[in-house]
């Protein structure tokens, strides 16, 4: 999905906003773009903190991702469960870690 400001939203994110059997998002384009920007920014912000946590506390990648995921769900940002999971997948991708395998149905 491309919008006037040239933001390319990955299909993995768009899938959260498309009802099965449909090909259009079930939310206004502005909402989807805003939510994507929030989630992408959060993944980028967490990258440095996650690496520091892993190094400082000698934690596994999985443990760091789980802690970050739990923090996102408890945070006042009000990310949906699916958005928090997407942030974890994106964080793992940014750090070149193995992603969490969780289900946010």
SS (H, E, C) the chain: CECCCCCECCHHHHHHHECCCCCCECCCHHHHHHHHHHHHHHHHHHHHHHHHHHHHHCCCHHHHHHHHHHHHHHCCCCCCHHHHHHHHHHHHHHHCCCCCCCCCC
CA 76 to CA 78: how far, in whole Å? 5
- Tell me the per-residue pLDDT of 37-47, one tens digit each, with 9 for 90 and over: 999 999 999 99
Say how far residue 102 (Cα) sits from the centre of its chain: 13
- Tell me the per-residue pLDDT of 28-64, one tens digit each, with 9 for 90 and over: 999 999 999 999 999 999 999 999 999 999 999 999 9
Q: Name the percent of the chain lying above pLDDT 90.
A: 70
């Amino acid at each position: 999905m491309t919008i006037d400001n040239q933001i390319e939203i990955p299909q993995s994110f768009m899938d959260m906003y498309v009802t099965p059997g449909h090909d259009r998002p079930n939310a206004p384009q502005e909402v989807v773009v805003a939510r994507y920007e929030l989630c992408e920014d959060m993944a980028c912000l967490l990258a440095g903190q996650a690496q520091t946590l892993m190094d400082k506390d000698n934690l596994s990648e999985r443990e760091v991702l789980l802690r970050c995921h739990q923090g996102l769900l408890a945070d006042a940002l009000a990310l949906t469960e699916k958005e928090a999971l997407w942030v974890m997948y994106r964080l793992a991708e940014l750090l070149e870690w193995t992603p969490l395998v969780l289900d946010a149905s």
